[in-house]
Structure 1
C-alpha cells in the first residue's frame, strides 16, 4: 500500500479577520502547517490552532514566512541569509512554545509563500532555513518543494526532508510551481486536480501546465484552507486517495 501525508496551511486568521475553515479541515488531513505571526496569524490564533490539531491527533508544523502581513508573505523581501535564519528560528520557537503548552510535539517546518518559493532555487537562502531548523531541533522534518534546493539543503544539514506536491497548483515543464502571475497558476478543475494528485502518488508523474509529462516526488500533498471550496476539495482528495489504496498518515509515522 502506498502512503502519503496530506497537509494544509492553517492558522492564517489575524485579529478580527477570519480566514479559512480550520476546524472543519483539520479532521480531514494528517498534518497542518500553522502560520507563526509574520505573514499571517497572531498569538491567539496560533494557540487555538495548535490546540485543535493536538486534540485531533495530527502532526503539527511551523509555517514561517517573510515578515509581511500586508502582502501575506507573497512579496519577495530579499532578506540576507543571516536575516532569514533569524526570522525562521524566531517563528519556529514561537510555535514550539504553544505546542509545549498544549502538551503536543512540533513535528515539521514548512516555509510559506515567497520564502518557500525563493528557497526552492536560492541555495544560500535554503541553507539558512535548513540551519535554523537544524539548530532548533535536528529531529524536525523539513518540508520543501519536490526536488528543490530546499530539499538538497535540508539533506546536507542532516535533516529528514519531505518532498511536497501541490494538489491545486500548476507546474512548469521544469517541475516548479507556475508563477501566480499566470492566469492558470491555480487549478480550477477539481476533478482533474484530484486525479492528478493520485497519479503523482501512485506513478510519480504529473501533467505540466503545457501538457508535458514530468517526474515528481511526493511525500506530502499540500492543500489550502483559504478558499470557498477548500473543504469540499480536501474531502474529495482524501476519498480518492483512500479508494486508490493510498494510506494517509503523517511523515515518519
Structure 2
C-alpha cells in the first residue's frame, strides 16, 4: 500500500439464525439446515461470497441468535475466507431478536457480555484464531450510544475480558467516551445502508426513509464515508463520522451488489478494504 492509499474496514453482522430455521428475508440462511452446505455455489447469497467482500464479520454469540453448531461452522468458514471474526453480543432476548431494552444491573450486564465473548472465543481458539473485536447488537448497541451506565458496562466488560480488544460503536457517542475511559481501543462505525440525521443519529427504522436500498446510492454513500469521512443526512447536510469501519447488513437481499459497487468506488479513490 503506497503513501497515498487509505484503508477502511468493511464489516457484516452475520450468523443471526438459530437451529435449522432461516430468518425472514435471509434466504442465504437456508444453507444452514442440518446436512446442508454453507459453501454451496448455488446459494443466492452464500456466506463465503459475503466474507470474501468484507474484512471482518460480527458473529452472533447465541443470546439473540446463533446456536453452537452454526457458530462453529461460521468460524471455520471465516478462517477459510481469511476474514476476521468479532463478537456480536446482545441482551439475553432471543424471542425479541435482541431488539428490546432490558434493565439489568451493571455487573450482570458485564457478565452477560463476557459470557458471549467466551462462547465465541472457544470456537475461535479451536481454529487457531481469537476474537478480533466486539460490536454489540440491536438494543444493546443503540442504548450504549446514549446511556452512560450501559456504555460503561460494555466498555468495562471488554476491557476485563482482554486487554487491547477493540470495540466498534457509534462515532462521538457515550460508547466512545466510555471506551476511552476504560482504555479500550474504539473504532467508529458507519452504516452503508442506514439513513442519518444531522446530529449523527440513525433514522428510526419505522420510517420509510430509514434504509437506503439502491446499490448505486449505497456505493456513493460508502465512497463519501471512506474518502471524506462524512455522510449526507436526510435533512440534506453532511455529517462528520470519520469511520474506521463500515457495516453492511448481511440480511439485505442486495448486499452483494452493495459490496461489489462499494469496492469498485473505493478502489477508484485509492481506498483499500482492510481490517483496522
The total of aligned residue pairs comes to 251
The answer to whether the aligner puts 1:39 opposite 2:39 as a matched pair is no
The answer to whether the aligner puts 1:201 opposite 2:205 as a matched pair is no
Residue 253 of structure 2 corresponds to which residue in structure 1? 228
Q: 1:68 aligns with which of 93, 101, 113?
A: 93
The answer to whether the aligner puts 1:6 opposite 2:31 as a matched pair is no
**Structure 1 residue 175: Cα displacement:** 0.4
Gaps of 5+ in 1: none
Deviations 1:197-219, CA, capped at 9 Å, x for gaps: 11112112211111122211110
Q: 1:77 aligns with which of 102, 107, 113?
A: 102
The answer to whether the 8 Å contact 1:3/1:248 transfers is: yes
**Structure 1 residue 82: Cα displacement:** 2.2
Q: TM-score, normalised to structure 2's length?
A: 0.88
Counterparts of 1:147 and 1:49, CA distance in 2: 32
**Structure 1 residue 23: Cα displacement:** 2.4
Residue 16 of structure 1 corresponds to which residue in structure 2? 20
Secondary structure at the aligned position of 1:234 is classed as helix
Residue 90 of structure 1 corresponds to which residue in structure 2? 115
**Structure 1 residue 132: Cα displacement:** 0.8
The answer to whether the 8 Å contact 2:14/2:250 transfers is: yes
Gaps of 5+ in 2: 29-45
**Structure 1 residue 79: Cα displacement:** 2.9
The answer to whether the aligner puts 1:27 opposite 2:52 as a matched pair is yes
**Structure 1 residue 80: Cα displacement:** 2.9
Deviations 1:21-66, CA, capped at 9 Å, x for gaps: 4222011110010000011111111111111111222211000011
Q: 1:239 aligns with which of 259, 264, 274?
A: 264
Which structure has the bigger radius of gyration? 2
Deviations 1:75-114, CA, capped at 9 Å, x for gaps: 2223332222111111011100010011112110000111
Counterparts of 2:54 and 2:68, CA distance in 1: 23
Q: Which runs of 4+ in 1 moved over 6 A?
A: none
Counterparts of 1:209 and 1:45, CA distance in 2: 37
Counterparts of 1:233 and 1:17, CA distance in 2: 26
Q: TM-score, normalised to structure 1's length?
A: 0.95
Alignment RMSD: 1.2
Counterparts of 1:195 and 1:232, CA distance in 2: 13
Counterparts of 2:208 and 2:77, CA distance in 1: 35
Secondary structure at the aligned position of 2:136 is classed as coil
